[in-house]
Chains A and B, each alone.
Chain A
């Protein structure tokens, strides 16, 4: 009779534990990083009763963590591809804003307005209002160049802070992973279930893969060994600290201890570094070339002309103080529009110089192209890069959605499925309790006979 009680007791414990696992699943149904746990009920080993071996009830088998590691690794690869594309698109879109194209406020319109004002001055080179218009359009052009330069400069400064923030985030995540590796090892070493710890680690690794390109190898002890761009980053015992340093106008991501430089090609950090090191300098240089070309060519013509002053002066530069794409209108001209040298011979009505300056617009004065062609190609290049990053982001997103769907299909919790399990385990629990009741009745019957 005691055996009947024992089997029923074990059965009650088994199904109670099974219900615990199911309730854990249900409570994590909305946790995207949770891997559902599957409980298996197995038979207790046979026990010898007299000369025979009899079944001894049920027991809780392994609590299995349902996870496809191949899919997870694929997801991580796509993560750093998408993060790179998203971050690069954001950075380039920010740079795109400084150009305010297409519109009246854009550099293109201002270059056009600058040359048009010279063209209109040619009609009446002595006109004060036409000269004032040249000054206004020049100031507007200069301020746009300055605005673009300032914008790109500030963006570079922000990019440094952003890169340092991301590097620090990577370091924090690596430390978290090392701690979780240790906890998983200890828990499993003590015979415990480290499923939830592994989920937490997966979440951190997933987040890390959005920051930088990583390679993950999980060994037989369930320890994740991670490297970043070919440089060891973390395992159970060690974690590498990385840092951002600025050298020769380049941002370098390297290890703090020996200065090893990983090949960072992906993730938000990869995009941030490339933005600082390549993209922004490239666009700044191209815009600077346009500015320098206008500065040099206008000055070369203007300095040969004659002002409207009495007596006419010559060898006056129109622009001054050039430095890295930024320049000024000559203060003398700003103070007195008669200092504009529109005349080719000192006569007020001569428009030789103003005509020549206005015709610079159609001359191939930079890299065998007109300024308009060069600027158009810069805008085309910038817009094209943003578009490529948008398309890449969409492509990665499709892959990520697909992979997440596959992962969720395997690892996600289905409430309906869990409800079926609950009913199932509840019924088994009720049957076990009923068995105890029957055993009790049987015992009462025997005790009744004895009385």
Chain B
């Protein structure tokens, strides 16, 4: 075999280039601490790396949602807890009024206390977090609870107290993080049940309940749903006093239309399908009818309805204050409303606590997912520093050897010996 000088030179350059490129690759990996600096570094892994990185970002996004939600839920719990304490304390202060005899001075001192309580409850019911009224459902346009100067009654200004604030805390996992402001601070006559699709025309169901005016006066609220056509019911209600006399402006009718495909209520009188307010200022009656939870399906008929509290807390307190200023004793029914309020408040706090726990559980799961995604990315992408360092040493050693051998062989020829 002939060995020419060009062969020696070419061999040296070939080996040198191979060695240098291997050295550069390891050096690059060590410098960036990353095996995949561009997709072609690992075609088999790039899709997985992109997926894991996005997964990680998505987890971070869920974590951010949870952090915000936890803070909101905490804010709601604080607001509810404050109102609970305020009303409980007020109840203690008002308790002497239940006795037949009580110091006359209370007529002067208690209205101020009640005013303070009303202010506290008003502030709590209009609590804002991150620019939104947390007890206003999805309507953040104005304070949900305000005094109407013309009627001198507290009214619900928000059109969507029942709306849920759904937050995604995991892939397709949504949590309703808000408390229903109507349940907490308003009186709500809430229906729950199912109308049978196959029910005959003329089928009717009636629900009745005793409600209070803010001044403690009792009324009978009776409502009837009658099937008038497929997917259509007539809804009528009437308020009567304890003598069975109809309350003026205390009755109404409307048309309920169900969506035949979803089975949900699609409109009430052509409008909002969630419910409507029943307000009779003359009788200080102010409550809301909530039809959110009725459906129509072939699953058979069942229907129930009930009140969370017999009257809304703000107007009852205002009435109690007005009575005291007029040197009248608050009624027993008004005390009943205070008890109902604190009971509902505790239930809602308990519900918020459940949401809080659920958010914390989800956060813990997400933390594990985050760790897992990081581990997976690390396995695919991170450089094994020890291995890379050894490779670097080996390549460096091989390059040194190449230099040494080539330095000996390349300059030599017969000329050196002549």
Asked if A124 and B132 sit within 8 Å, CB to CB, the answer is yes
Q: Mark B36-76, 1 if CB is under 8 A from A, else 0.
A: 10111111101111110110011011101100110000000
Which residues of B lie under 8 Å from residue A274 when comparing CB positions? none
Asked if B130 and A124 sit within 8 Å, CB to CB, the answer is yes
Which residues of B lie under 8 Å from residue A327 when comparing CB positions? none
Distance in angstroms between the alpha carbons of A284 and B40 in the assembled complex: 18
Q: Is B148 located at the chain interface by the 8 A CB criterion?
A: no
List the A residue with the shortest CB-CB distance to B42. A383
Which residues between 333 and 387 of chain A lie within 8 Å of chain B, taking CB atoms? 343, 345, 347-351, 355, 358-359, 361-362, 372, 375-377, 379-380, 382-384, 386-387
List the B residue with the shortest CB-CB distance to A89. B40
Distance in angstroms between the alpha carbons of A112 and B3 in the assembled complex: 60
Distance in angstroms between the alpha carbons of A423 and B50 in the assembled complex: 69
CB proximity of A310 to chain B, nearest CB, Å: 7
Q: Is A296 located at the chain interface by the 8 A CB criterion?
A: no
Q: Is B345 located at the chain interface by the 8 A CB criterion?
A: no
Asked if B40 and A387 sit within 8 Å, CB to CB, the answer is yes
Which residues of A lie under 8 Å from residue B54 when comparing CB positions? 108-109, 111-112, 372
Tally of chain B residues near chain A (CB < 8 A) = 60
Q: Is A408 located at the chain interface by the 8 A CB criterion?
A: yes
Which residues of A lie under 8 Å from residue B174 when comparing CB positions? 355
Which residues between 390 and 406 of chain A lie within 8 Å of chain B, taking CB atoms? 390, 401, 404-405
Asked if B7 and A376 sit within 8 Å, CB to CB, the answer is no
Known: A109-B53, A362-B172, A405-B10. A101 touches B5 (CB 8 A): no
Which residues of B lie under 8 Å from residue A127 when comparing CB positions? 130-132
Q: Is B197 located at the chain interface by the 8 A CB criterion?
A: no
Which residues between 168 and 194 of chain B lie within 8 Å of chain A, taking CB atoms? 168, 171-172, 174
Q: Is B413 located at the chain interface by the 8 A CB criterion?
A: yes
Q: Mark B137-163, 1 if CB is under 8 A from A, else 0.
A: 111110000000000000000011001
Known: A383-B43, A404-B10, A416-B414. A348 touches B38 (CB 8 A): no
Main secondary structure of the interface of A (DSSP, over half): helix
Q: Is B365 located at the chain interface by the 8 A CB criterion?
A: no
Partner of A416, one of B40, B172, B413: B413
Asked if B46 and A102 sit within 8 Å, CB to CB, the answer is yes
List the B residue with the shortest CB-CB distance to A34. B6
Partner of B58, one of A92, A112, A351: A112
Which residues of B lie under 8 Å from residue A401 when comparing CB positions? 10, 14
Asked if B415 and A351 sit within 8 Å, CB to CB, the answer is no
Q: Is B278 located at the chain interface by the 8 A CB criterion?
A: no
Partner of B57, one of A116, A355, A362, A405: A116
Which residues of A lie under 8 Å from residue B381 when comparing CB positions? 102
Distance in angstroms between the alpha carbons of A122 and B7 in the assembled complex: 70
Q: Is B4 located at the chain interface by the 8 A CB criterion?
A: yes
Asked if B68 and A123 sit within 8 Å, CB to CB, the answer is yes
Which residues of B lie under 8 Å from residue A120 when comparing CB positions? 61, 64-65
Q: Is B1 located at the chain interface by the 8 A CB criterion?
A: yes
Asked if B6 and A412 sit within 8 Å, CB to CB, the answer is yes
Asked if B50 and A412 sit within 8 Å, CB to CB, the answer is no
Which residues of B lie under 8 Å from residue A372 when comparing CB positions? 50-51, 54
Which of A97, A350, A358, A417 has the largest count of B CB atoms less than 10 A from its CB?
A350
Distance in angstroms between the alpha carbons of A390 and B130 in the assembled complex: 54
Distance in angstroms between the alpha carbons of A30 and B6 in the assembled complex: 6
Partner of B139, one of A92, A349, A376, A380: A349
CB proximity of A426 to chain B, nearest CB, Å: 11
Distance in angstroms between the alpha carbons of A412 and B6 in the assembled complex: 7
List the A residue with the shortest CB-CB distance to B11. A405
Distance in angstroms between the alpha carbons of A347 and B58 in the assembled complex: 27
Tally of chain A residues near chain B (CB < 8 A) = 65
Q: Is A69 located at the chain interface by the 8 A CB criterion?
A: no
Q: Is B2 located at the chain interface by the 8 A CB criterion?
A: yes
Distance in angstroms between the alpha carbons of A413 and B51 in the assembled complex: 57
Which residues of A lie under 8 Å from residue B46 when comparing CB positions? 101-102, 376, 379-380, 383
Partner of B39, one of A102, A343, A351, A410: A102
Asked if A93 and B40 sit within 8 Å, CB to CB, the answer is yes
List the B residue with the shortest CB-CB distance to A387. B43
Known: A349-B132, A387-B40, A413-B5. A122 touches B163 (CB 8 A): no
Which residues of A lie under 8 Å from residue B36 when comparing CB positions? 102
Distance in angstroms between the alpha carbons of A419 and B416 in the assembled complex: 11
Q: Is B280 located at the chain interface by the 8 A CB criterion?
A: no
Q: Is B385 located at the chain interface by the 8 A CB criterion?
A: no
Q: Is B198 located at the chain interface by the 8 A CB criterion?
A: no
Asked if A414 and B50 sit within 8 Å, CB to CB, the answer is no
Which residues of B lie under 8 Å from residue A102 when comparing CB positions? 36, 39, 46, 49-50, 53, 381
Known: A102-B49, A124-B131, A419-B415. A414 touches B4 (CB 8 A): yes
Which residues of B lie under 8 Å from residue A124 when comparing CB positions? 68, 130-132
Which residues of A lie under 8 Å from residue B141 when comparing CB positions? 310, 347-348
Q: Is B401 located at the chain interface by the 8 A CB criterion?
A: no
Which residues of A lie under 8 Å from residue B48 when comparing CB positions? 376
Q: Is A289 located at the chain interface by the 8 A CB criterion?
A: no
Which of B39, B57, B163, B415 has the largest count of A CB atoms less than 10 A from its CB?
B39
Asked if A376 and B65 sit within 8 Å, CB to CB, the answer is no
Known: A109-B53, A119-B168, A126-B132. A390 touches B414 (CB 8 A): no
Which residues of A lie under 8 Å from residue B39 when comparing CB positions? 96, 99, 101-102, 379-380, 382-383, 386
Asked if A349 and B414 sit within 8 Å, CB to CB, the answer is no
Asked if B7 and A386 sit within 8 Å, CB to CB, the answer is no
Which residues of A lie under 8 Å from residue B11 when comparing CB positions? 405
Asked if A412 and B5 sit within 8 Å, CB to CB, the answer is yes
Which residues of A lie under 8 Å from residue B51 when comparing CB positions? 372, 376
Which residues of B lie under 8 Å from residue A111 when comparing CB positions? 54
Which residues between 95 and 135 of chain B lie within 8 Å of chain A, taking CB atoms? 130-132
Asked if A30 and B5 sit within 8 Å, CB to CB, the answer is yes
Q: Is A113 located at the chain interface by the 8 A CB criterion?
A: yes
Which residues of B lie under 8 Å from residue A412 when comparing CB positions? 2, 4-7
Distance in angstroms between the alpha carbons of A26 and B180 in the assembled complex: 98
Which residues of B lie under 8 Å from residue A106 when comparing CB positions? 50
CB proximity of A403 to chain B, nearest CB, Å: 11
Partner of B40, one of A343, A358, A383: A383
7 example contacts (A-B, Cβ-Cβ < 8 A) are as follows A112-B53, A122-B166, A347-B141, A348-B138, A376-B51, A386-B39, A419-B413
Chain A interface (Cβ within 8 Å of chain B)? 29-30, 32, 92-93, 96-97, 99, 101-102, 106, 108-109, 111-113, 116, 119-120, 122-128, 310, 343, 345, 347-351, 355, 358-359, 361-362, 372, 375-377, 379-380, 382-384, 386-387, 390, 401, 404-405, 408-410, 412-417, 419-420
List 13 other contacts, CB 8 Å, given A347-B160, A372-B54, A401-B14. A109-B54, A112-B54, A120-B64, A347-B138, A349-B132, A359-B172, A379-B39, A380-B46, A387-B40, A405-B11, A408-B7, A413-B5, A419-B415
